Structure 1
Amino acid sequence: MASHLHERLRDSNPGWAEWHALLQLVESLTFQQINDEYLGTFFAAGDRLCFSALDADRSFPAFVPAYVASLYGLKADEYEMAGGYAIELSHEPAIRGSLFSPLGNDADLGYPEIDPPPGTFPFLTTNTGASLFLTSNLQVVFPDAEKETFATLDDLKTFTRRSIQAAVENRNWTSFYEQQLGNLID
């Protein structure tokens, strides 16, 4: 199992120090493949580190760097926990009314209906269920209900490096963004 993950990570290594540390961590852990009827397939080392398996038919928008697929589902947690790096990413763009709830009932839940910027795609959810999005210019953004607009969290490269660092340090990536995300992660 670890050899599969090591290969997956090695093939798209961008040369970052964080990536090297992640490779070392993956080599040091024992992973099991878990097939959950409702949640999907995972490669998990207990509650220490987890990746989601990439379905054969899953593809990402062409603008997404190769390292995104390699890190798909990365989290320093049990596989059953919500979230995971790029877990929501697909070719389907974000749509008005489904920014705070993927069920398309933002207004029913008391959230404003905000038009997402063109080229914005669901990217991941936090462990509390808040949604983050990725733009075609590689910015990680989130809908700000108070300002009724999208706010930039970080560029994808920095967000990714911080996500890897957090996973290696056995903590949630949200620790880097507590001030910006505030109540989205509480």
Structure 2
Amino acid sequence: MSVLAMTGCRAAPAVDAKVSPSASATTATPSAAVASGESTCKDAAGDSRSKAVDIDQIRLLSDGKLMFVVFNTVANVPTTGTVLYSVTAWSSDGKKGYEIGAKFRDGQEIANFVYNLGTNQQENITNGAVAADKQVRTRYPLAALAGLGDKFGWYGAVTVDGAGVGTDVDRCPGGEAKTQFPDA
């Protein structure tokens, strides 16, 4: 998460969430369970600023070595144009921040990366992102997300490229997110 300007990624503090491992979110605020390493954001249908893509839900899952990111969309993911699916995460103290994302052009992956917002360094990930039907799935090594800690804030966004300029068309949640994960 080419990288776009992150105007919404200030050093915002994360808020603790205490939820059982089997809990699932039904609101626009992500919930988390440390034991299972899962956080979910459910988004309202029809709130996208584009007909191209509308987020239904975003899930972050961790197995202790990898961070899996799953975007579910209301309709099939676009197979034309350029679309970036990204998650921006920041540590509770605001000292560490990352954008992780996968970019597709005409339905084909053209980038999958972890971008360190503090050092302006990008690590390209070569394990392949998958976009099919109503879902985009990616995975990232937790080692590349060092310093987020066990409590961090996050949000996900979909950005559509129009005339060379990316525009965020949908975001989940609309406000500040909250989560807990084992230290990266």
Common fold, TM-score beyond 0.5?
Answer: no
Structure with greater proportional strand content: 2
Q: TM-score, normalised by structure 1?
A: 0.33
Q: TM-score, normalised by structure 2?
A: 0.33
Greater relative CO, 1 or 2 (CA 8 Å, sep 6+): 2
Structure with greater proportional helix content: 1
